Amino acid sequence: MTPVEEEIRTAAPGRSHVRHRVAALTVLLGMITYLDRTSISITAPNIMKDIGLTQIRMSFVFSAFTLAYAIFEIPSGWLGDRIGTRRVLTRIVAWWSTFTMLTGAAWNYAALLAIRFLFGAGEAGCWPNVTRTFSRWFPLSERGTAQGFFFMGTLLAGGFTPLAVTAMLGHMSWRLLFVIFGSVGFLWAAFWRYWFRDEPAQHAAVSASELEWIEKGRMIERGHAGDGTPWTKLLANRTTALLCLMYFTQSYVFSFYVTWLPTYLKNVRGFQSVSLGLFAGLPLTFSVPAVLAGGIATDWLTRRFGLRIGRATVGGSALLAAGVCLLAGTSTASPHASALLIGLAGAASNFLLPAAWGSCVDLGGRHSGTLSGTMNTCGQIGGFFSPLVMGSCVQWFGSWNMPLYLMAGLYGVGALCWAWIDPSRRRG
Return the CATH number at 339.
1.20.1250.20
Task: Determine, yes or no, domain membership for 7.
Answer: no
Task: Determine, yes or no, domain membership for 425.
Answer: no
Residue 10 clears pLDDT 60, i.e. is over it: no
Let me know: does 156 contact 288? Beta carbons within 8 Å.
yes
User: Rounded to an integer, what distance in angstroms lies between the CA atom of residue 114 and that of residue 112?
Assistant: 5
Task: Determine, yes or no, domain membership for 266.
Answer: yes
Residue 54 clears pLDDT 90, i.e. is over it: no
User: Rounded to an integer, what distance in angstroms lies between the CA atom of residue 145 and that of residue 291?
Assistant: 9
Higher pLDDT, 221 or 310: 310
Q: How far is CA 419 from CA 230, 307, 311, 316, 414, in A?
A: 25, 13, 10, 7, 10
Please classify residue 157 by burial: count the beta carbons closer than 10 Å to its beta carbon, then call 0-12 exposed, 13-18 middle and 19+ buried. buried
Tell me, what's the pLDDT at 247? 96
Which amino acid type is present at position 102?
Answer: L
Which residues are CB-neighbours of 427 under 8 A, at least 6 positions away? 230, 233, 234, 236, 237, 363
Task: Determine, yes or no, domain membership for 1.
Answer: no
Say what the pTM is. Answer: 0.74
Half-sphere exposure of 22 (CA within 13 A, CB side): 28
Selection from 146, 148, 130 nearest residue 138 by Cα: 146
Task: Determine, yes or no, domain membership for 9.
Answer: no
Task: Determine, yes or no, domain membership for 367.
Answer: yes
Let me know: does 363 contact 426? Beta carbons within 8 Å.
yes
Radius of gyration of the chain (CA): 21
Q: Please count the structural domains in the chain.
A: 1
* DSSP category for residue 220: P
Task: Determine, yes or no, domain membership for 265.
Answer: yes
Q: Which of 11-25, 90-104, 355-369 has the highest mean pLDDT?
A: 90-104
* DSSP category for residue 49: H
User: Rounded to an integer, what distance in angstroms lies between the CA atom of residue 161 and that of residue 163?
Assistant: 5
Domain range for 48 is 17-219+231-417
* DSSP category for residue 227: S
The string of pLDDT tens digits covering residues 100-117 is 999 999 999 999 999 999
User: Rounded to an integer, what distance in angstroms lies between the CA atom of residue 266 and that of residue 97?
Assistant: 29
Task: Determine, yes or no, domain membership for 423.
Answer: no
Kindly tell me the sign of the dihedral angle through the C-alpha atoms of 40, 56, 336, 295: negative
Which residues are CB-neighbours of 118 under 8 A, at least 6 positions away? 68, 99
User: Rounded to an integer, what distance in angstroms lies between the CA atom of residue 164 and that of residue 278?
Assistant: 10
* Angle subtended at Cα 12 by Cα 8 and Cα 17, rounded to the nearest 5 degrees: 105
Let me know: does 217 contact 140? Beta carbons within 8 Å.
yes
Tell me, what's the pLDDT at 7? 41
Q: What is the residue-averaged pLDDT of the chain? A: 86
The string of pLDDT tens digits covering residues 207-222 is 999 998 888 877 645 4
Tell me, what's the pLDDT at 226? 47
The string of pLDDT tens digits covering residues 341-391 is 999 999 999 999 999 988 988 887 777 778 888 898 899 899 888 888 888
